[in-house]
Amino acid sequence: MAKWIGPLEKIDAYRWRIPKGYKSGMRVDGLIYADKEMLKHILLEQTLEQVANVAQLPGIIGNSLAMPDIHWGYGFPIGGVAAMDIKEGVISPGGVGFDINCGVRIMRTNLTKDDVLPAIKDLVDVLYKNVPSGLGSKGKIRLRLGEIDKVLTNGSRWAVENGYGFIEDLESTEERGEMFGADPSLVSSRAKERGIPQLGTLGSGNHFLEIALIDEIFEPDTANTMGINEIGQVMLLVHCGSRGLGHQIADDYIKVMLAAMKKYRISVPDRQLACSPIESPEGRNYLSAMKCAANYAWANRQCITHWVREAFCRVMKIKPIDAGLELIYDVTHNIAKIEEHSIADKKNKLCIHRKGATRAFPAGHPDIPSKYLKIGQPVLIPGDMGRYSYVLVGTEQAMKETFGSTCHGAGRMQSRAAAKRQLRGRDVLESLAARGITVRTDSLSGLAEEAPQAYKDVASVVNVAHGAGISRIVARTKPIGVIKG
């Protein structure tokens, strides 16, 4: 792999700039959030070339942004944020990704380490049985004819109305789990056929379900507002997306965009950046179909939440009310959204692409749940399955610099093939067990690919986000049980 040798200017300990003079087509600078150590890794690949490519898209505003977990993707970098002017700008399915609304949610409980450790094997087994996971798994929801359209339109609300979870869960979900303007008639029958059998499944790859303990609290008052009260408190994390339905919608619309680019005379440096003006029929239709996939993903996580609660209460022999299994928050990290942002004291409607990046709105923002108005929006940053994950909150600084965005995870350091060459699934399983982490998976080779060693230390990622002020660290969790898709 060729090292990237383009120009990079240091702004401060956490910020680096690719000047827009680097390439003639660049409309804005690239701005990378990283420390010196992380940068060494970033420069080993062509990731920053992708940041410069995104800077060439029509209507891009501010900077082509790279969050601290940035790594080489296809088209857009993973960890990329791009804001487009709604009048002049474009929308790109590649800037959202194939797994539309891949995201993560965290639930709190009233239980502590001492309650669950004796039952951890049972818990992991029952969760594994209760939540379909892994490649080739089918869900247990049988949708009636035409019902898929309701899932695509109403998202989490469909799930709650059908008995999966509580009405309070909606308040604790980004967009309340239901993006308005989703039009199922713009979703192909192939996409729906893929989505119908997979609703309520975790999927494979880096998707997971995790039982974790709070092991450090950095801001006790903020944590308390979220229901995070003490060290050793049990949390549950779910990470998954829109499954084959989202992949098919992305495929379908990249094709639409490639044709549209000829019509609108747009050229892009990488065809995976295929795009169309936001206000063109193609752009509007994609956004509307994308919202369907986003809603599907929220319904998916909501159904899984229900089965997690069911399994948890059964094994712990506890009533749901006593378990206190409340959703703290659910964030999406692959999405495009129309949002209002202030630039030079003027309010602008922009289309924000977050490809492997999380919204991080500050205290007082009207789009965050009222219970979090004083602390800011919770941001969930899962790490690898052996170390830890973080809960953060959004900040005013993120609003000023990154269109209210921050990182989304650890970011891979090693390719899947390299991880598999060095590690065997069974060894990964044993070394995790030695660290007190019980793992169940369908795929041992998948486990090797997802081994902790293949990822950056998520602590260094959140430290940059915190240091740069684009979010603040609130608490840290450590896994004790993992179901790997």
Partner 1 sequence: MKRYKLIEHTADIGLIAYGNTLAEAFGNAAFGMFSIIAELDNVVENQNRCIELKSSDQESLLFEWLNRLLYYFDVDLLLFRSFKVNILPGNRLTAICYGEKYDRLRHKLKTGVKSATYHKLKVDGIKNEVQVIFDV
Residues acting as catalytic residues: 408
Contacts with partner 1, 224-253, as mask; x by CB under 8 A? -------------------xx--xx-xx--
Residue ranges of E strands in 317-367: 327-332, 334-343, 346-355, 358-359
Helical packing angle, 281-316 and 120-130, nearest 10°: 140
What gap in Å lies between CA 224 and CA 229, rounded to an integer? Answer: 5
With binding defined as CB under 8 A, does residue 357 bind partner 1?
Answer: no
Q: List the one residue from 103, 134, 277, 404 that touches partner 1 (CB under 8 A).
A: 134
Shortest reach from residue 481's CB to partner 1, in Å:
22
Q: Strand, coil or helix: what is 75?
A: coil
Stretch that binds partner 1, among 115-123, 366-374, 380-388, 406-414 (CB under 8 A): 406-414
Helix or strand run (H / E) with residue 68: strand 60-71
Work out which of 96, 148, 209, 274 binds partner 1, going by CB under 8 A.
274
User: Which pair of tokens denotes residue 294?
Assistant: 């986003």
Q: CA nearest 177: which of 290, 332, 339?
A: 332
Instruction: Decide if residue 477 touches partner 1 (CB under 8 A).
Output: no
- Residue 142 contacts partner 1 per CB under 8 A: no
* Residue recorded with tokens 């928050």: 329
Q: How many CB atoms lie within 10 A of CB 135?
A: 11
- The dihedrals phi and psi of 391, each to the nearest 5 degrees, come to -110, 125
What's the rounded Cα separation, in Å, for the pair 272 and 77? 11
Between 149 and 449, whose beta carbon lies closer to partner 1?
449
Measured between alpha carbons, how far is residue 364 from residues 367, 375, 404 in Å? 9, 8, 13
Q: Does 437 bind partner 1 (CB under 8 A)?
A: no
| Token pair listed for 313 | 């209460």
Stretch in the footprint of partner 1 (CB under 8 A) among 13-21, 265-273, 306-314, 379-387 = 265-273
Q: In the set 412, 466, 476, 478, which binds partner 1 (CB under 8 A)?
A: 412
Tokens of 280: 């063109």
Q: C-beta of 179: minimal distance to partner 1 in Å? A: 21
Q: Which residues, in sequence order, are CB contacts of 40 under 8 Å at separation 6+?
A: none
Run of H or E including 64? strand 60-71
Work out how close the CB of 478 gets to partner 1 at its nearest, in angstroms, rounded to a whole number. Answer: 24
- Nearer residue to partner 1 within complex by CB, 56 or 204: 204
Minimum separation from the CB atom of position 217 to partner 1 (A): 31
Q: Is the dihedral of CA 37, 39, 42, 45 positive or negative?
A: negative
Over the window 87 to 106, marking each residue x when it contacts partner 1 by CB under 8 A and - when it does not, the resulting string is: -------x--xxx-------
Q: Which is nearer to partner 1, 72 or 372 (CB)?
A: 72
Q: How many CA atoms lie within 13 A of 354 on its CB side?
A: 27
Q: Looking at beta carbons only, is 268 or 465 nearer to partner 1?
A: 268
The crossing angle, in degrees rounded to 10, of helices 189-198 and 281-316 is 10
Contact segment (CB under 8 A) with partner 1 among 66-74, 112-120, 210-218, 224-232 equals 66-74
Q: Which stretch binds partner 1 (CB under 8 A): 72-80, 119-127, 165-173, 223-231?
A: 72-80
Q: Of the two residues 90 and 211, which places its CB atom closer to partner 1 in the complex?
A: 90
Question: How many Å apart are CA 447 and CA 440, to the nearest integer?
Answer: 10
| 152 touches partner 1 (CB under 8 A) | no
Taking the CA atoms of residue 267, residue 272, residue 278 and residue 279 in that order, the dihedral angle to the nearest 10 degrees is 70
What is the Cα–Cα distance from 162 to 157, expressed in whole angstroms?
Answer: 8
Helix H segments across 209-242?
A: 220-225
Residues 162-201 that bind partner 1 (CB under 8 A): 190, 193-194, 197-198
d(CA 159, CA 212): 25
Which of 272, 280, 431, 453 touches partner 1 by CB under 8 A?
Answer: 272
296 in contact with partner 1 (CB under 8 A): no
Based on the shown chain and the rule CB under 8 A, indicate whether residue 417 belongs to the binding site for partner 1: yes
| 70 vs 228, beta carbon nearer partner 1 | 70
Residues in region 2-61 near partner 1 by CB under 8 A: 45
Number of residues that bind partner 1 (CB under 8 A): 49
Q: Which residues bind partner 1 (CB under 8 A)?
A: 45, 71-75, 78, 94, 97-99, 134-136, 138, 190, 193-194, 197-198, 203-205, 243-244, 247-248, 250-251, 254-255, 258-259, 270-272, 274, 412-418, 442-443, 445-446, 449
